[in-house]
Structure 1
Amino acid sequence: MNKTLFLYLLLGIILSSCNQKKVTLSDDSSSKINAVSVIIDDQLWNGEVGDSIRNKFASPVIGLQEEEPIFTLNQYPVKLLEGFMTNSRNIIVVKKESKTKFYIKQNEYVTPQIAVHISGKTVQEIIDSIEVNAPKIINEIKKSEISIFQKRTIRQSLERDKIKSRFNVLINIPAKYSIVLQGKKFLWLKKEITSGKLCLLAYQVPLSSLKDTINLVNRIVKIRDSVGRKYIHGNKPRAKMQTETAFSPYLSKTTIYGKTTYETKGTWDLTNDFMSGPFINYAIKDEKNNRILVIEGFCYAPSKQKRDLMFELEAIIKSVQFLKKK
């Protein structure tokens, strides 16, 4: 009898250990780009806490013509935390309990994963934690999603000699992108998609071009418009790319490969035509080489949502690596 009981206990321990084993998600994981599983009980989700979560993590993406959320949120009750929902790449666990906590843990249940834990003794404590920590959470999830995309891209990168020879940089560009037009210090790459296209531009201007930081956004617009007039033309006569004048572009300062970078998001259109779409422009200060390296992504996809298309372009651009001079 004791021997039988011991065997049952041993079997239980083995099964428990197996269940706690961390899973590594494959590259073709069912988790969609920019999707977040919110593990929260219905009572909180349908009240002020849920409103706060939606306001922060499903707010509109800056720079798109139509409203699309930063993340696609999928809510599940807390009781499912021990089940398959922990296989999501991004999870936010929200609980009302006796301790107030906030922490972000990488690869807690599966790999790769960003797991965010928020708890408080009252509804207000939970809301306050969400308000304070939302920028950090968004940044961590976006950074993780970009890293995952870039790792996949490395395994299928296009031959980068032409980019390297012109700009002395490496960029991980998926094989479906092909060079459409090239000049001495200009490259235009395109990827065909259903009913549209994704495009990447790379060119450089003198470092002094962005010396006037007071009117920086206007200067960046003038530079990209001059490039558009020269290189990006439509099928109709005098149809050339320009920055949409009806919407003021959004400008922010960031860092790419350790270099000061100006990120501009807005809308482009073609003069004398009806084509338009969003763009994201990175003007990277390369002081060692006395230049501004501009890498821009834009898309034309009138029948598609554009958040994930622009995310792809952003992830590609942020893979840039500056090489040393020979």
Structure 2
Amino acid sequence: MKNFSLLLIALLLFSCNDGPKKKYLPESIGAINSLGVVISNDLWEGAVGDKLREHFAAPVVGLTWEEPLFSLEQMPQKVFTGTTRYRRAVLFVDLDTVNVAHLKTDLYAAPQEIGVIKGRTQEELITNIETYADEFIAAIKGMELEETQKRFLRSLSKDKILEEKFGVTFRLPSIYKLGKQEDNFVWIDREIQKGSMNIIAYEIPWESLDNDSTLVTDFIRMRDSIGEKYIPGPDIRNKKTYMTTEDAFAPHFFETEIDGHKALEARSIWDIENYPMAGPFLTFVIDDEANNRKLVVEGFTFAPATNKRDYMFELEAILRSVKFK
């Protein structure tokens, strides 16, 4: 009986250790918002490539000039080997005997999203691109935002001003510094090579911006009043300068969610009243019913003669990291 018991224990231990082993995956590589496109040269240079560029290199909404959603890097299949397979974001497009499109997550590395698009003809490839592009873009962008937020953890700001004033925390890199604070306003910024990246936060009443028919007017009036009160422009003799919303570009609005709270997302161009300065902004108006308010957080960039996509993407990653205490 004693020997039988020992044998039973040994079998149990062996069976526990003989379970499925977790697959080791190397860390993925690649610049943020860079998308590797594995496709033959012939397809890339024809209608299929045009359709890919139409969707995956579409202009980012709300920038001062056109910049692509992703920086596309085409490569033929024979190049997609070794460490090249560790790229974080990949599209695999090819003619085949099947007509399919799907996402593969963490196939060769982690984190990783690979969009696979196959078709028996070029027409089927184009149809699959049109059908699945939005889904693939959302998955890749979500991964890139998470990757950017993870990189912030290397050096986070210890400033508690946003928590003390508004009861929220941000995953804010330490390079951002407090620039101004008032009773209902905080301005945080960081210097960049040719300008600055900025974050502002303030509260508005719960019932604000609830009328869809006047949303554009009400939103611009709100932003411009904050700009006039808190965000001055350069000193110009006999002129008042302050941040406003550029009249020539109506804001683009989207519904979104931040930390489980409904939010209104707005993108457009800011400028300075009575002075030639402008740049992109991204605003989130976040519902906070528990505190009978809406919290407004905004990121804007001043970087003349410089591409701004990646600056605005970093600001979006910070703003989407808001956590309510």
**TM-score, structure 2 length as denominator?**
0.90
Corresponding position of 2:31: 32
> Do 2:227 and 2:244's aligned partners in 1 also have CA atoms closer than 8 Å?
yes
Match of 1:22 among 25, 35, 39: 25
SS of residue paired to 1:215:
helix
> Offset at 1:211?
2.3
Query: Are 1:68 and 2:67 an aligned pair?
Result: yes
> Do 1:169 and 1:320's aligned partners in 2 also have CA atoms closer than 8 Å?
yes
Matched to 2:212, the amino acid is: T
Deviation by residue 1:30-64 (Cα, 9 ceiling, x = unmatched):
x1110000000111111111010000001111101
> Do 2:216 and 2:250's aligned partners in 1 also have CA atoms closer than 8 Å?
no
> Do 1:99 and 1:121's aligned partners in 2 also have CA atoms closer than 8 Å?
yes
SS of residue paired to 2:84:
helix
SS of residue paired to 2:297:
strand
Match of 1:316 among 307, 315, 318: 318
Corresponding position of 1:15: none
Alignment of 1:43-82 (within 5 A): 43-82=42-81
> Offset at 1:81?
2.3
Corresponding position of 2:297: 295
Rounded to whole Å, the distance in 2 between the matches of 1:152 and 1:131 is 32
Query: Are 1:245 and 2:247 an aligned pair?
Result: yes
Alignment of 1:266-305 (within 5 A): 266-305=268-307
Query: Are 1:154 and 2:157 an aligned pair?
Result: no
> Offset at 1:251?
1.0
Corresponding position of 1:307: 309
> Do 1:236 and 1:272's aligned partners in 2 also have CA atoms closer than 8 Å?
no
Deviates more, 1:291-300 or 1:252-261: 252-261
> Offset at 1:83?
3.4
Corresponding position of 2:20: none
> Offset at 1:82?
2.6
> Do 1:232 and 1:240's aligned partners in 2 also have CA atoms closer than 8 Å?
yes
> Do 2:27 and 2:86's aligned partners in 1 also have CA atoms closer than 8 Å?
no
Rounded to whole Å, the distance in 1 between the matches of 2:290 and 2:225 is 25
Extract unaligned runs of 5+ from structure 2: 1-22
SS of residue paired to 2:271:
strand
> Do 1:98 and 1:121's aligned partners in 2 also have CA atoms closer than 8 Å?
yes
> Do 1:217 and 1:264's aligned partners in 2 also have CA atoms closer than 8 Å?
no
Matched to 2:234, the amino acid is: N
Q: Percent identity?
A: 39
> Offset at 1:212?
1.5
SS of residue paired to 1:310:
helix
Corresponding position of 2:142: 143
Rounded to whole Å, the distance in 1 between the matches of 2:89 and 2:207 is 42
Matched to 2:82, the amino acid is: G
Alignment of 1:152-301 (within 5 A): 152-237=151-236, 238-301=240-303
Matched to 2:141, the amino acid is: K
Rounded to whole Å, the distance in 1 between the matches of 2:108 and 2:216 is 43
> Offset at 1:218?
1.9
> Do 2:257 and 2:263's aligned partners in 1 also have CA atoms closer than 8 Å?
yes
Matched to 2:25, the amino acid is: K
Deviation by residue 1:250-302 (Cα, 9 ceiling, x = unmatched):
11111111111111101011111111100001001111111110000000000
Deviates more, 1:286-295 or 1:81-90: 81-90
Corresponding position of 2:124: 125
SS of residue paired to 1:209:
coil
> Offset at 1:21?
6.3
Rounded to whole Å, the distance in 1 between the matches of 2:150 and 2:46 is 39
Corresponding position of 1:14: none
SS of residue paired to 2:62:
coil
> Do 1:160 and 1:171's aligned partners in 2 also have CA atoms closer than 8 Å?
no
Corresponding position of 2:8: none
> Do 1:236 and 1:273's aligned partners in 2 also have CA atoms closer than 8 Å?
no
Matched to 1:130, the amino acid is: I
Rounded to whole Å, the distance in 1 between the matches of 2:225 and 2:319 is 21
> Offset at 1:154?
2.5
**TM-score, structure 1 length as denominator?**
0.89
Corresponding position of 2:4: none
Rounded to whole Å, the distance in 1 between the matches of 2:291 and 2:324 is 11
Matched to 1:139, the amino acid is: A
SS of residue paired to 2:312:
helix
SS of residue paired to 1:208:
coil
Rounded to whole Å, the distance in 1 between the matches of 2:156 and 2:294 is 25
Rounded to whole Å, the distance in 2 between the matches of 1:184 and 1:102 is 52
Deviation by residue 1:170-224 (Cα, 9 ceiling, x = unmatched):
1111111001100122100010000100000000010111221222122111111
SS of residue paired to 1:24:
coil
In the TM superposition, structure 1's runs of 4+ consecutive aligned residues that sit over 4 Å from their partners are none
